[in-house]
Chains A and B, each alone.
Chain A
Amino acid sequence: MDSRSAKIDTGMSASFIASAVIHLAVFLLFVWWGEQFSPQMALQETYYVDVVDLPVTAPQAGEEIQKTDEPKTEVPQVQPLAPTPSPSEPVTKKGTKFLKPAAPQSTAESEAAFQERMAKLAEKNEAQQIDERINRISSKVKSKAASKAGTPGAGGAERGSRYSDYIKSRLEDALKITSYSTTQNPEIAVRITISAEGRLLRIKVERSSGDSAFELSVRRAIDLASQKFTAPPDNNVFENGFLFRPKGILNNSEQ
């Protein structure tokens, strides 16, 4: 009976070893399978959109046309502002009779001086803005020449683009509500694509510091903000990268 039980034990341990080996093999097979097929799933998600153009002349996005209008509207505004000191005159007039002729003179003089000064300021401002515009246009022309030939217009993801700033501020507002992190200084670079109708098309995490809680809150912020996006100007698909940090969001488009 001893030899029999000994035989049972050896058979038992052998089959246990075989079982463990089979399990290990199956496990490794699954790991291999996962590695083999998960990148394909990620690939399905990604597709590439051509660099988006936000034409500067579009009224919605263009600062150019709006800027040129601004000084013109500002100058007339100065004139209605000027008479405001005049209602103060009757008050002084009632108090002191002798100063009556002198007072209007001085106010008229100061009014004229004020108007002159304002006009000068406006002129100066206009000149400055024209200079700025020239600079910007020339730099844009330069950058366009430096970048891909054949891409029409300036890149919508450029620094001056109002729409990306708008999206950024929307995201910042949302992140204030959702921000939650477990590590010290988490940061996540996310590329966001918005359809011509203002619908969120795609979120792609390009780089992450590995804080899953913060990543979750960023996703939540994008979710929250995307409910209120307006459509990008000129019916273009908008795509831009943003660098999320707990303190705020950086426009990551230049990288």
Chain B
Amino acid sequence: MAIILGAGVVVKLVLLLLMSFSVVSWGIILFKFFQVQRAKSESERFMDFFWKSKRFDAIASQVDRFASSPLTVLFNEGYSELKKVVETDSKSDGNAISTDLGGVENVSRAMRRATNSEITRLEKYLTFLATTGSTSPFIGLFGTVWGIMTAFEGIGKTGSASLAVVAPGIAEALIATAIGLVAAIPAVMAYNHFQHKIRVLINEMDSFSTEFLNIVQRNIAGK
């Protein structure tokens, strides 16, 4: 405690900055943890539900139960696009084969767009974790260098170089590096962890959209 209060202004500012980095990155870690966890479990439940149901409109009426899963967004987008295609198809009533192929492509495009937007949503704020992980050790190091500089200035003024004189200043300075590392280590670990989890979710989304398109194509072709 006395170490922090006894430090210079620059070191204090550095410590404050690092503390705010740490608070924000831990906030993001907690938020992302729950977000990813919920997305994963609800995706699993949604896939079970999806394979059990026979009809798309039955799924569409129940889809709000799995609102946290990115797959439901994909499903909603694909289903609404499919409905539009079917509607225009029934209206035009003409050359069926060309609209069938165009319809599947439309649905595919809509789902790809939805996948992209979901990836963006899941990866949101993760850049801050990466930034914290890579910069806060340097910020801490800056604080330390500055603290040691002022400590040496003090030593020069008093003219003493005994350990009792040198040690407190250096201890004060080193706490900046310590706090920087404390902020950086969990941020880097969480960043890698979430990157992996999100990659798994992206794979799931891709496989779901291919499954969905398969079903659509089968049904349209079989019509």
Contacts and interface: CB of A to CB of B under 8 A. Distances in A.
A20 interface: yes
A22 interface: yes
A223 interface: yes
B24 A19 contact: yes
Nearest to B30: A15
B161 to A, nearest CB: 9
A48 B89 CA distance: 100
Nearest to A179: B158
Contacts of B164: 219, 223
B53 interface: no
Given A4-B67, A219-B165, A220-B165, A16 B160 contact: no
Nearest to A212: B6
B49 interface: no
B158 to A, nearest CB: 5
Contacts of B30: 15, 18-19
Nearest to B68: A7
A217 interface: yes
Contacts of B19: 23
B160 A213 contact: no
B1 interface: yes
A119 interface: no
Nearest to A5: B121
- The interface residues of chain B, by DSSP majority, are classed as helix
Interface size, A (range) = 20 to 34
A12 B165 contact: no
B75 to A, nearest CB: 15
B95 interface: no
Contact of A217 (B22, B34, B158): B158
B26 interface: yes
A28 to B, nearest CB: 10
B157 interface: yes
B162 interface: yes
A31 B1 contact: yes
Given A11-B34, A23-B19, A219 B27 contact: no
Given A22-B26, A23-B19, A23-B26, A11 B31 contact: yes
A220 B159 contact: yes
Contacts of B159: 177-178, 220
B27 A178 contact: no
A45 B34 CA distance: 50
A216 interface: yes
A188 B27 CA distance: 47
B88 interface: no
Nearest to B35: A11
A226 to B, nearest CB: 10
B23 interface: yes
Interface string B54-78: 0000000000000100000000000
Nearest to A219: B164
Interface in B149-182: 154, 157-160, 162, 164-165
Contacts of B22: 23
Contacts of B158: 178, 180, 213, 216-217, 220
A2 to B, nearest CB: 13
A17 B27 CA distance: 7
A220 B35 CA distance: 59
Q: Report the 3 A-B pairs with minimum CB-CB distance, sorted nearest first.
A: A16-B27, A19-B26, A220-B160
Interface of B: 1-2, 19, 22-24, 26-31, 34-35, 67, 154, 157-160, 162, 164-165
Interface of A: 4, 11-12, 14-20, 22-23, 30-31, 34-35, 177-178, 180, 213, 216-217, 219-220, 223
28 contacts: A11-B34, A12-B27, A15-B34, A16-B23, A16-B24, A16-B31, A17-B27, A18-B27, A18-B30, A19-B29, A19-B30, A22-B26, A30-B1, A177-B159, A178-B158, A178-B159, A180-B157, A180-B158, A213-B157, A216-B158, A216-B165, A217-B158, A217-B160, A219-B164, A220-B158, A220-B160, A220-B165, A223-B162
